[in-house]
Structure 1
Amino acid sequence: MIVVTGATGNIGRPLTRALAAAGERVTAVSRHAAAVPDGVRHVVADLAGPAGPAALEPVLDGAQALFLLLSGDLHGPGTAPADLVGRAVAAGVRRVVLLSTQGVSTRPFGPSRVAMRALEDVVRESAPQWAVLRPGGFASNVLWWAESVRTRRTVVAPFGDVGAPVVDPADIADVAAACLLEDRHNGGVYDLTGPEVITPRGQAQALATALGVPLRFHELTRDEARTAMARTMPVELADDTLDILGAPTEAELRVSPAVEQVLGRPPRPFADWAARNVAAFR
């Protein structure tokens, strides 16, 4: 049996479907009730809530593998994500696949990335078998634009001509499934990107093509973007995000071969994600 945390999000949902389609017994864990594929057991558990990592224990009985995706709450002070790994291994889980972040290697000194690297080390040292996934920016981050596209046919974003090789969450899910199911990925650390560098203007054009209507691009200044982002996240995180978006490093611009190495096919381009998710922008 495979336990998937974050099972109703952009990665967990397609991962759960892929594992179920492969004939695996799957327990999907999320903070809220949600529909899951037929045959999948769904458990509501808040791993960052009062019970903490102990909330995972009831779902671990009989589990051989765990996909560990930390919600934002589990990165905060006072949380103990390493305890999730310890409890899983103590319960008999032999394989842990951790969703980490590209920033662990490209920007290793930020507080959240220091903590994630420490968790990677716990996984390496504790789990009999493991793999670490380090994706860059997600194609699905443009869902931030959905309201302005629906209501004003306008994309509002900073750094319109600064690109990155954003990765489709469905590709992350497919790589995660391979790592959970195939022994050959034991000990793998995979940087995951899309197939090409694409700018926000380029993403807006791909959305316009998918929608079949023109979109206007309104470029925010950094200060305007910071003010908007600070409404939904700590200012420090907004500044950190804007540093990455506005001045990606050479490593963050590099297209990784890992998706193709694992899956035997190239990663999906942003236009593919846009076509599949166009309903969110109508």
Structure 2
Amino acid sequence: MIAVTGATGNIGRTLVTTLAAGGAKVIAISRGDKEIQVPDGVEHRTADLGDLGSLSTALAGADTLFLLITGAQLVSGPDPDEVLATAAAAGVRKVVFLSSQGAATRPGSDAYARTLAFENALARTDLEWTVLRPSGFFTNTYAWIEPVRTRRTVPAPFGDVGLPVVDPADIAAVAAAALTEPGHAGRTYTLTGPAVITPREQTAALSAALGEPLHFHELTRAEARTGMLRFMPESVADHTLTILGEPTGAEQQVSGDIAAVLGRPATDYATWATRTAAAYR
């Protein structure tokens, strides 16, 4: 049985559906602070990674785990060795961990210290593990929904700085492969989109998907930071802005790992914008 943490998120929700459609027995785990609808046959359990007792209970019967840390867990919480020991004691033998590209490109950063600590803790265990290191998500542009709907405007910083951002559905597809197929043990995959794209170019792609013009409004770093602090820790916001505005060469490099695992190219932003255009109308 496969347990999926973060089951209400952009990746976890799609992963649960993908695994269930493939015939896997799935436990969808969430903190219980959002409404969740799961496919037939999927069991929903409530747990918080900050509470190892609740995690142990939620993992009962699972031998495989998709592990995602988010929010406050990105900077604090139980020791990663304890989290993994709890999973192993519950019967888990395989873990696919959602890390971040920043764990490799900025290993000295406080924002990625805990993520990297989980990677290192996994390597010390006897568990079968796979690490996924995605770049930024296409779905980060869901932050544009309200201004696009109400003002036909896209507000974003660093309008002409590009990154190879990625479709969360592609991340979920790679995770599903690593969870259910052989050949991924001990592997670390860097997951990016098929090309570098700037916020201004994303605006153009979204405009084309909607069939109407959109205005790009470039935010200052300070303005963007204020918005980010509404939903992420300060250190994560600051380092995210550094990546967005001053990416390293490695952070702008397109990876072929999605194509290698899935046997198809990574999804481009224009395709994603067409698929999700209704959300912006």
Determine the structure 2 residue equivalent to 1:43: 45
C-alpha separation in 1, matches of 2:13 and 2:67: 13
**For 1:50-129, what aligned pairs fall within 5 Å after superposition?**
52-129=51-128
Q: Structure 1: which 5+ runs fail to align?
A: none
Determine the structure 2 residue equivalent to 1:10: 10
What is the RMSD computed on CA atoms of the aligned residues? Answer: 1.4
Residue 111 of structure 1, CA deviation:
1.3
Amino acid at match of 1:158: P
Determine the structure 2 residue equivalent to 1:203: 202
Q: Is the 8 A contact 1:100 1:135 kept in 2?
A: yes
**For 1:218-257, what aligned pairs fall within 5 Å after superposition?**
218-257=217-256
Residue 116 of structure 1, CA deviation:
1.4
C-alpha separation in 2, matches of 1:64 and 1:23: 16
Q: Deviations over 1:233-267 (max 9, x none)?
A: 44433221111000111000100010011011110
C-alpha separation in 1, matches of 2:250 and 2:40: 41
Amino acid at match of 1:219: E
When residues 98 and 127 of structure 1 are mapped into structure 2, their CA distance, relative to the original with a 3 A threshold, is farther
C-alpha separation in 1, matches of 2:217 and 2:165: 20
C-alpha separation in 2, matches of 1:109 and 1:253: 19
Q: TM-score, normalised by structure 2?
A: 0.95
Q: Deviations over 1:205-238 (max 9, x none)?
A: 1111111111000111222222333344444332
How many residues are treated as equivalent by the alignment?
A: 279
Determine the structure 2 residue equivalent to 1:25: 25
Amino acid at match of 1:147: E
C-alpha separation in 1, matches of 2:9 and 2:154: 23
Q: Is the 8 A contact 2:152 2:213 kept in 1?
A: yes
- Provide the secondary structure at the position in 2 that maps to 1:67: strand
1:275 is the counterpart of 2:267: no
Structure 1's consecutive aligned runs of 4 or more residues displaced over 6 angstroms after TM superposition are: none
- Provide the secondary structure at the position in 2 that maps to 1:210: helix
Q: Is the 8 A contact 2:76 2:114 kept in 1?
A: no
C-alpha separation in 1, matches of 2:237 and 2:97: 24
- Provide the secondary structure at the position in 2 that maps to 1:277: helix
C-alpha separation in 2, matches of 1:26 and 1:228: 35
Q: Is the 8 A contact 2:15 2:173 kept in 1?
A: yes
Q: Is the 8 A contact 2:170 2:258 kept in 1?
A: yes
Q: Deviations over 1:82-135 (max 9, x none)?
A: 322111112221100000000111111111312211211111221431100000
- Provide the secondary structure at the position in 1 that maps to 2:235: helix
- Provide the secondary structure at the position in 2 that maps to 1:265: coil
C-alpha separation in 2, matches of 1:101 and 1:107: 10
C-alpha separation in 1, matches of 2:234 and 2:48: 25
Higher deviation after alignment, 56-65 or 19-28: 56-65
Determine the structure 1 residue equivalent to 2:182: 183
Q: Structure 2: which 5+ runs fail to align?
A: none
Q: Is the 8 A contact 2:47 2:58 kept in 1?
A: no
Q: Is the 8 A contact 1:165 1:255 kept in 2?
A: yes
